[in-house]
Amino acid sequence: MQRPLLRSTIAAAAAATPAAVLEQESAPPAHDATIPEKSLIADIPYLTAGMIVLLMVIFGLEKHWAFDIGQDGSLSVQSLIAFGAVSRDLVIGAGEWWRIALAPLLHASAWHLAGNCFALFFVGLRLEPMVGRGWFALIFMVSALGGVAGSIYGNPPDIVTVGASGAITGLIGALFVVSFHHRADPIEQRMMRRTSLRFGIPALLPLVVATAGNVDYFAHAGGAVAGAAFGLALCAIWAADGARPDLGRLAGVAALLGLAASIVCAAVASTRYAAYAAEAAQFVPSAEMPSTLKAGVQRSAELVARYPKDPRAHLIQAYAMVEAHRLHDAEAELRKTIALAPANTAGRAIRNQAQGMLAAVVLDQGRRGEARSLAEPACRDTDQAALRRILKQAKLCD
């Protein structure tokens, strides 16, 4: 017979099936005669527009080659890993350094892309005419690397991330620093600071108040530090009578070399695509995945038979066995789920949920010590709030 704890735990787990796995301006003052006139054509942010188009084209290619796309339009974690997503385990643990030149150009969904392009447009509108296209591109590249470094350093080793937000936050940091340079007149300075604060505060404040969700704020912080530092260096070499910083062409060449490196890294990623595709074929497609564990009970045997290496199929099977009071069989399925769960953020979510359910199963059999050990990861997982609450009530969490 099931005890109340076991029933409550399974009910919490059944709530969701884990996915395989985010200006008004006053009149301008009289022109300062010491400030050189800028070319109107040169002030048009062509490079910013080109970057936005490039990011959109890349995302279109992602969607075309993705193994699976969720109902919300998000690309599967397996797809993102194949394309070049970063994590500490993938970059440092597996030595796949080519990922650092690809992840900042990738996006997980159309909404993710739209948000970044929106910020890039307004920041580029202010910064690109001020520093020139060569320096603007180089700041983007350096900030992208800073964002990857921040993500790898700050996130758990299995968290997989993509996106240009680190690079864009670096542009925001550079924009704020450059706004204090004497080259900008007071009106320009105010507009630059207003834009940088408008986008910079939402990008960094959640990290300060310890709220993250699905956004990689460590990448934001890394990019902001890199961009601000680059902005300081730029101001230091900026001639007093220069319309823009010197060595713009050299900066542009360096940025083009970075783009060339990304192309080479994309070629490396393409050689591994077939292996990732074969692995992804073993997972239940989003269109076939039941919305909840309870909804999948009738199909659990079929899903395990068709996708024996997908831990989610075994998790649904385990739930069905618990519902049928086959606790020993459920324990075996849950242990298989844990063993099959991949070593990334999607795998962590599945593994923690399975361990929480398994803790309830073994506690029902009187093995409290083992249950406490199994419950520990679920007790720390903030994404499993209902399961954590039940485990705490059973005194399985400290």
Shared-domain flag, residues 8 and 78: no
For range 322-347, the mean pLDDT: 88
What residues are annotated to the active site? 165, 220
CB 38 within 8 A of CB 124: no
38, 212, 355, 364 from 15: Cα distances, Å: 60, 22, 16, 21
Q: Which of 246, 265, 280 is a domain's end point?
A: 280
- Write out pLDDT tens, residues 191-220: 777 887 787 677 666 554 444 557 888 999
Q: 381 is in which domain, residue-wise?
A: 4-16+284-393
d(CA 282, CA 192) in angstroms, rounded, equals 50
Shared-domain flag, residues 245 and 273: yes
Q: Name which of 217-221, 240-244, 346-350 the model is least confident about.
A: 240-244
Question: Is 116 part of a structural domain of the chain?
Answer: yes
Question: Is 29 part of a structural domain of the chain?
Answer: no
- Write out pLDDT tens, residues 147-197: 999 999 998 888 899 999 999 999 999 998 888 876 666 777 777 778 877
Question: Is 106 part of a structural domain of the chain?
Answer: yes
Shared-domain flag, residues 198 and 74: yes
- Write out pLDDT tens, residues 362-389: 888 888 889 888 888 888 877 777 788 8
Shared-domain flag, residues 248 and 182: yes
Q: Which of 280, 307, 326 is a domain's end point?
A: 280
- What is the reported pLDDT for 24? 32
For range 37-58, the mean pLDDT: 82
Q: Which of 263, 280, 297 is a domain's end point?
A: 280
Shared-domain flag, residues 143 and 220: yes
What angle, 0 to 180 degrees and rounded to 10, lies between the N-to-C axes of helices 217-237 and 186-208? 150
Shared-domain flag, residues 230 and 330: no
Question: Is 259 part of a structural domain of the chain?
Answer: yes
CB 223 within 8 A of CB 173: yes
Question: Is 35 part of a structural domain of the chain?
Answer: no
- Write out pLDDT tens, residues 94-144: 999 999 999 999 999 999 999 999 999 999 998 999 899 999 999 999 999
- Write out pLDDT tens, residues 258-311: 999 999 999 999 999 999 999 889 999 888 888 888 888 899 999 999 999 999
Question: Is 150 part of a structural domain of the chain?
Answer: yes
Shared-domain flag, residues 200 and 291: no
**Chain center to CA of 52:** 18
Q: Is the pLDDT of residue 42 over 70?
A: no
Question: Which pair of tokens denotes residue 262?
Answer: 């990304």
Shared-domain flag, residues 117 and 230: yes
* Confidence class for position 1, pLDDT limits 50, 70, 90: very low
Shared-domain flag, residues 237 and 160: yes
